[in-house]
Amino acid sequence: NSDLILYVNLELVNKKSDRRYIVEEMLGQGTFGQVAKCWDAETNSYVAVKVIKNQPAFYQQAIMEVSLLSMLNDKFDPDDQHHIVRMLDFFPWKNHLCITFEMLGHNLYELLKKNNLRGLQLQFVRTFSRQILDALIVMKGAGIIHCDLKPENILITPKVNSAAGVKVIDFGSACMEGKTIYSYIQSRYYRSPEVLLGYPYTTAIDMWSFGCIVAELYIGLPLFPGASEYDVLSRMIEMVGGQPPDDLLREAKNTRKFFKHAGSIYPGNEAHDGLRSSYRILTEDEVEARDSKKPKIGKWYFPRGRLDRLIFSYPWKNLNEGNLPEAEKEDCLALVDFLRGLVEFDPNK
Ligand code: ADP
Ligand code: MG
């Protein structure tokens, strides 16, 4: 892809003076390296510098991050209007690739934690959702799959005229649609059915993660906090109702890790869109017998049950369907409707 080659040409990297970026504090640490808040002595401003681990595989993946993000920034969002982090610079330093970003605020997981995991007010859920969706639309237009959308990878933007805002960061797992290489992607709670099941994936997997994030922003806890992939999938089926469509199950590589094939239509098994399916998800006993290893039990109360019940009567705010004010009831109905469109088993939809 000629666009990518253009951006990856390391010969084009400016040689920086040794003392341009002065580290002030560490902002985060991940699989790919560390992120530091730095003072940029050349522009007299704060920047976030991601220092990638000095191993070839990480270096290569970081080159992909640089390529895809510069393409998104320069070609698809030149005026910085679509809530995608701005990359400012990149340079090699002692076998570490370093990427410089605009300095942003806390990530959404930190924000939820500060709020004691009780969820945000609907007005913030709405604003943030709209902005993330704006970013996702641009990414889809560019044919870029983020592959790791989650609250840790969405950052609050510094207050400009006190308007709340967010930006999508961390294109360290991103890839081009149609050039998907990895099958083990996305963080488990936000992993889409097609990735769990080993089915060819598209930008639709980000839309699934987005749905999980919207729900989490409102309830304060992850929607599908499964201790294992099986646990995540069975929570999806329990919460959303239905299951992945039969043709997806027939073609996916991992179907037999999770489902039993009944040979013919499995009696009484209501599948996607009310159609009867020839697959059913394994029972917990069947999985335990196979894995002989119990899933870990989380340390918090984790939501279970149907999506609509959860949204209408999540535990933290001591509300239930009965005493919700009319206006809030309507908001909840709209939110459930919105979420149902996002946590949709059929990627084509
Ligand atoms: P990784 O690929 O290792 O997850 P990220 O790019 O997601 O790396 O960065 C890790 C963490 O560092 C983020 O979750 C966030 O808290 C912090 N961080 C990253 N970029 C910025 C930024 N531009 N401004 C402020 N904090 C950032
Ligand atoms: Mg990250």
**pLDDT tens, position by position, 1-55:** 344 443 444 444 444 456 789 999 999 988 889 999 999 999 999 999 999 999 9
The three-state secondary structure class of 47 is strand
Rg for the chain (alpha carbons), in Å? 22
**pTM more than 0.95:** no
The three-state secondary structure class of 278 is coil
Q: Report the candidate in 38, 47, 32 with the shortest Cα–Cα distance to residue 88.
A: 47
Share of the chain above pLDDT 90, in %: 64
CB count within 10 Å of CB 114 equals: 9
Residue 75 near residue 142 (C-beta atoms within 8 A):
yes
Residue of 25, 32, 35 to test ligand 1 pocket, by largest number of atoms within 8 Å of CB: 35
pLDDT at residue number 34: 95
Q: Report the candidate in 224, 165, 160 with the shortest Cα–Cα distance to residue 192.
A: 224
Residue 210 near residue 342 (C-beta atoms within 8 A):
yes
The verdict on whether residue 50 carries a ligand-binding annotation is yes
Ligand 1: which residue has its CA nearest to atom 3? 30
d(CA 37, CA 48): 5
pLDDT for 52-103, tens place per residue? 999 988 999 999 999 999 999 999 999 999 999 999 999 998 889 999 999 9
Taken in order 171, 174, 177, 178, is the CA torsion positive or negative? positive
Distance 10 CA to ligand 2 centre (A): 24
Take residue 9 and report the two structure tokens written for it: 């040409």
d(CA 322, CA 313): 9
Beta carbons within 8 Å of 121's beta carbon, 6+ residues apart: none
Phi first, then psi: what are they for 324, rounded to 5°? -70, 135
Mean pLDDT throughout 251-274? 68
Active site residue 40: no
pLDDT at residue number 11: 40
> In the 8-state DSSP scheme, what is residue 151?
G
CB of 32 closer than 6 angstroms to any ligand 1 atom: yes
Q: H or E stretch including 280? A: strand 279-281
The number of residues in the chain equals: 349
Instruction: Exactly one of 18, 40, 77, 148 is catalytic; name it.
Output: 148
pLDDT at residue number 295: 41
Ligand 1: which residue has its CA nearest to atom 5? 170
Mean pLDDT throughout 283-301? 59
Q: What average pLDDT does the structure give for the chain?
A: 85
d(CA 262, CA 253): 17
pLDDT at residue number 267: 43
Take residue 140 and report the two structure tokens written for it: 């889809």
Taken in order 88, 93, 95, 96, is the CA torsion positive or negative? negative
Q: Which range is least confidently modeled, 39-43, 215-219, 323-327?
A: 323-327
CB of 152 closer than 6 angstroms to any ligand 1 atom: yes
pLDDT for 91-136, tens place per residue? 998 889 999 999 999 999 999 999 888 899 999 999 999 999 999 9
CB count within 10 Å of CB 69 equals: 24
- In the predicted model, is pLDDT for residue 257 greater than 50? yes
pLDDT at residue number 321: 53
CB of 35 closer than 6 angstroms to any ligand 1 atom: yes
Beta carbons within 8 Å of 185's beta carbon, 6+ residues apart: 147, 148, 173, 191, 195, 201, 205
CA-based angle 8:11:15, to the nearest 5? 115
